[in-house]
Structure 1
Amino acid sequence: MRILFVIDGLPGGGAEKVVITLAEQFLREGEHVSLFSLRDVCEYPLPDNLDYRVIADRCRKPWRKITELTRRARQLDNAIKEAEKEGPFDLVVSHLHKTDRIVSRSAILKHRNLWFCLHGVFSASYLGHRTGFSRWQKQQKIKRVYQHRNVVTVSDAVGRDLVEQCGVTPAQLKTIYNPFDIAAIRASADAPCEMAGQDYLIHVGRFHPAKRHDRLIEAYAKSGITAPLLLLGQGKPEQEAKLRELAARLGVGERVIFKGFQPNPWMWMKHARLLVVSSDSEGFGNVLVEALLLGTPVVSTRCPGGVTEILTDEFERGLADLNSDALARTLQSIYDNPPPIDAQRLKKFSVETICHQYRQLSSS
């Protein structure tokens, strides 16, 4: 089986990690895997035997923005022609919206088994708070890419949002959760951690407005929990400065610890008393599954996206409404009385299970 993944670069993000995890597993299973990146950015180690190609745009003409999508689709087609000298791709999966806009204009891929994988909730990330004509315009742009196309979404909620909020009618719509290499995550978590044996809370995620670190810090201050709060992630310096000022103003500045980006977040997650997500939306919620795989209880806002599909049954106690008061109460509750974690329930997220579901797309 010949598989092609296309993505707009490989910086340290969740969708990018999903692609690398899928590629590694398919290669282990003996498949031929190509990964085309539309930018020369890669912060992940690439697996052996991966056919990795960068299709960077070198155009510097004044009108380059106007012609970008068509020009880059043509560049992509040229790379596919070269790669397919060894045979056509059986499955092509495009990841992230900027990539999708280019891939949707590919002439060659109209005749391939092409799927668009959506990792986020469009109504939150793309439509935002737009109303009226501005919102309609954005919806039309989304429709131009996905209408009557094959679409995979990382949660049922992402798929519902595409249909109900964006008015898209896909040719096929399937949910495939994000994959997790469970053995690799647990092995990485066994690395020595300076916080082992100490009580602390942890948040893992970049400093982005949608992650709502401000809500997290406010909830932490209100919770009365004295164990420190570790923030693993990074962003613009001015964002971090605002969060440090907020923590100081709320009297928890000495207990909110900024650890920056950590290449191995799992060892920190394993030893935490609990992990918290405070976002306004999450396409899936990778860190929630990762923490549970490591035996760490979780708390999350009940935000649009896949969170409520992960935190079901006894885990549902860890869901909080989208405000700092509710999040503070839930932090207290789970900190004092965490639910049991049944590892068997998490096998549905294993990379082996998820790759099998992607294989089935080749016969859809």
Structure 2
Amino acid sequence: MSNKKRILFIIDSLAAGGAEKVVLTLARTMVQSGHKVSIITADNKIEYDIDFAADTHTLDFKKSKFEPTYYKYAKRLQRLVGTLEQEHGAFDLVTAHLQKAHRLTAKAGIKKAYYCIHSTVSQGSLAGRSGIRLYFKRRRLKKLLDGKDIITVSNGIAEDLLKVVRIKPRSIRTIYNPVDFELIRRLANETNPYKNEDYIIHVGRLTPSKRHDILLQAYAKSGIKQKLLLLGDGPLKVAIQQLAHELGIADRVIFAGFYTNPYPIIKSAKLSVLTSDYEGLPTSIIESLVLHVPVISTDCPSGPREILTGNLANALSPVGDINTIAHNINAHITNHQNKAEINDSYIYRFTPQNVVSQYLKLAQ
């Protein structure tokens, strides 16, 4: 029997985002090891460069008012997987990532599928709901995930699923997200368009859960001279720009937008800051540490506490605590934390080879 496996990833899209980058890192590492990888996206949207030999397909998902959309595209997924297996052999491992892919995979009845959960469900899908709305949303989630094989990207997500959402899976395991140290460090040597600036950085989409309002208020209160560079795009850009004006810091906040290669920009930052209300396993923290950039983060559910261990745990702040975040920003800049203190022993468990080996154990 060949040790080379056929792996299928099903995901909403390959738009700019953390889960999408995780899937591409997994796929790239598997291909480099000689395995055959296929990727099926629900939406026809690809924003990352696919720099390896993967077999990619899209369902070209489009909502319709006149027909049951998920049923239609689940059938399309079922036919596509059947065709790929008929032409090239059965898949040894199937993983589905993000909510749309989860629903389509379940409705299509894809066998041997693992459902990968990338964020804290009670803080995301169930947030802001109460009473009957909360009951029915939790019921839909349980219908989708009960009896399934689940992978969570942090222990905190697993605990949330079991104790808060009360999912009853067939199996559940935590496999951390992979981060390609070698690739990140190589790409970080390219030209930084902000090389003449002195700045701290936030990496992430401009969305409500990232709490840029908290970030800007803490930055303003910190009193540091470095600028704040926001690396990412999103629907709250105008609101965040307006808040920067109201706080009198508009001339010190750089809206850099999205970069396919953000690493030269991250590498030159004096500090990387995360102020989220919730996460799954925030890759931006790990990538900053790979580049030996000091990190401060909210101690949100879930992930930061599992990444920032040992001496790095001093960088955690309570969620929403502007004063503590401001103090930590100032302290890290004032104390000039030595980048040499951030070594790979803190982050070895996130290497692609280590993570992929855990996935391949499931492909038996």
Structure-2 residue corresponding to 1:19: 23
Whether the 8 Å CA contact 2:151–2:174 is kept in 1: the answer is: yes
Match of 1:63 among 48, 66, 70: 66
SS in 1 for 2:346: helix
Whether the 8 Å CA contact 1:201–1:274 is kept in 2: the answer is: yes
Match for 1:151: what amino acid? I
SS in 2 for 1:139: helix
- TM-score under structure 1 length normalisation: 0.94
Distance 1:180 1:267 in 2: 16
Matched, 1:169 2:172: no
| Alignment CA distance shift 1:334-1:49 (3 Å) | same
Structure-1 residue corresponding to 2:77: 76
SS in 1 for 2:107: coil
| 1:231-253 Cα distance to aligned partner (Å, 9 max, x none) | 111123xx222222222222222
Distance 1:350 1:122 in 2: 25
Structure-2 residue corresponding to 1:213: 212
| Alignment CA distance shift 1:63-1:320 (3 Å) | same
SS in 1 for 2:7: strand
Distance 1:20 1:249 in 2: 39
Distance 2:47 2:173 in 1: 29
Match for 1:37: what amino acid? T
Whether the 8 Å CA contact 1:104–1:145 is kept in 2: the answer is: yes
Match of 1:49 among 50, 53, 67: 53
Whether the 8 Å CA contact 1:197–1:271 is kept in 2: the answer is: no
Match for 1:31: what amino acid? H
Gaps of 5+ in 1: none
Counterpart mapping for 1:1-364 below 5 A: 1-57=5-61, 60=64, 62-64=65-67, 67-85=68-86, 86-107=88-109, 109=110, 112-196=111-195, 198-236=197-235, 239-322=236-319, 323-337=321-335, 338=337, 340-363=341-364
Deviates more, 1:242-251 or 1:263-272: 242-251
Distance 1:58 1:273 in 2: 43
Deviation at 1:196, TM superposition (A): 3.6
| 1:7-65 Cα distance to aligned partner (Å, 9 max, x none) | 111111111111111111111111111111111111112244311111124685x432x
Distance 2:202 2:7 in 1: 34
Give the length in aligned residue pairs.
355
Match for 1:52: what amino acid? T
| Alignment CA distance shift 1:249-1:283 (3 Å) | same
- What is the aligned-residue identity percentage? 35
| RMSD (CA atoms) | 1.5
Distance 1:39 1:8 in 2: 6
Match for 1:95: what amino acid? H
Whether the 8 Å CA contact 2:44–2:61 is kept in 1: the answer is: no
Distance 2:40 2:172 in 1: 24
Deviates more, 1:192-201 or 1:282-291: 192-201
Whether the 8 Å CA contact 1:154–1:283 is kept in 2: the answer is: yes
Match for 1:266: what amino acid? Y
Gaps of 5+ in 2: none
Deviates more, 1:193-202 or 1:247-256: 193-202
Distance 1:212 1:18 in 2: 23
Match for 2:253: what amino acid? V
Match for 2:354: what amino acid? T
Match for 2:325: what amino acid? L
